[in-house]
Amino acid sequence: MERAGCVLCSPSPPGKPQWQATFPGDQTFAYVRCPGCGLVYLNPRPGGEEILGYYNRDYYGEGEKKFGAWIEAPRLYFAGKRARRVGRFLPRKGRVLDVGCGQGTFLQLLRREGWEVQGTELAEEPARRARQAGIPVFLGEVQEGQFGEGTLDLVTLWHVVEHLRDPVGILRRISPMVGKKGLVAISTPNVESMQARVFRERWFHLDPPRHLYLFSPETLDRLMAQAGFRMFYLNHFSMEQNPYGWVQSALNRLAFPQGALYSFLKTQPGRKRLENLPLLGKMLLLSAALLLPSVLISLLMAWSGEGGTLEAYFVKEG
């Protein structure tokens, strides 16, 4: 484990305790809040090599896709909606880099529209899946000068920035690679959301120790400003993320195993037969009952600016 500080404040003041969260396996991690800017971050946190152990086949799923077909179909639909949103903000087709591209679904859609695509991934398993789909993927973090100056029209980080060990440093590396009027699109959990306040250490999007930073609209804007980008669009509603966040967080609070539904939905062809079928049945019935109320409250929270996740678009300054 290593000590961490606020990446937005220099010098970094000592963080104030925010939550104690338990990872499956009874490991406890602490999130603290910076008194200077409000950024929430994990401290202490696993070191560079150590944290890779938390990105294993249990995390990525054991099949050729992360989820089964009945989940992958709506995921494809939501990825298509993001691709169409990008098209409204950036109608010209250019070169896109998807940081943390996963199995490459979003990039496959953009490629069909005529974009030149490439992705990055930290782990070999999702990179392999993306390459099988014909997506060029670089393994590891974005490096300085990896792409030519001004050669990228769009950079996307879909639920990735919270995983980065040095988000300011990486975005500063990316900045010179983004061309004039180029865009950066980011989605991330909203630490100032009603979901976070209600469920606290049981919040689905906490996900220790993989989520190293938890942003609010203000700290996300500050992060991007330090890298030379200005926010011009912010959305608090995600049908893909927000209703499910309420459902899984409620199940966590009701003493079901942490993240049990999410684990069940992932492809695990080699898993053992579930030992407690009555518990599974109860969890699935309760999830179905919670779904509609979760959609309604997600709409309400988005309208009030307190959605469980954020989707923001930034333009390069100057």
> In this predicted model, what pLDDT tens digit does every residue of 184-223 receive, in sequence order?
999 999 999 999 999 999 999 999 999 999 999 999 999 9
Res 270 pLDDT > 50: no
Res 178 pLDDT > 90: yes
pLDDT computed for residue 59 by the predictor: 76
Higher pLDDT, 283 or 48: 283
Res 271 pLDDT > 70: no
pLDDT tier, 25 (very low <50, low <70, confident <90, very high otherwise): low
Taking only the tens place, the pLDDT of each residue in 151-165 is 999 999 999 999 999
pLDDT computed for residue 268 by the predictor: 59
C-beta atoms surrounding 261 within 10 Å: 19
Res 274 pLDDT > 60: no
pLDDT computed for residue 183 by the predictor: 96
pLDDT computed for residue 130 by the predictor: 93
pTM of the model as a whole: 0.93
Higher pLDDT, 243 or 63: 243
β-bridge partners, 2: 45
Burial of 318 (0-12, 13-18, 19+ CB in 10 A): exposed
> Which residue type sits at 213?
Y
Average pLDDT, the chain: 90
Residue whose C-alpha is closest to residue 251's, from 202, 214, 311, 318:
202
d(CA 230, CA 225): 6
Q: Could you give the percent of the chain with pLDDT greater than 70?
A: 95
Taking only the tens place, the pLDDT of each residue in 43-60 is 999 987 888 888 877 777
pLDDT tier, 1 (very low <50, low <70, confident <90, very high otherwise): confident
Res 247 pLDDT > 50: yes
Taking only the tens place, the pLDDT of each residue in 218-228 is 999 999 999 99
Taking only the tens place, the pLDDT of each residue in 71-101 is 888 888 999 999 999 999 998 899 999 999 9
pLDDT computed for residue 70 by the predictor: 75
pLDDT computed for residue 272 by the predictor: 45
pLDDT computed for residue 120 by the predictor: 96
Res 124 pLDDT > 80: yes
pLDDT computed for residue 252 by the predictor: 93
Please tell me whether residue 29 adopts helix, strand or coil conformation: strand
Contact by Cβ (8 Å): 36, 6: yes
Contact by Cβ (8 Å): 190, 309: yes
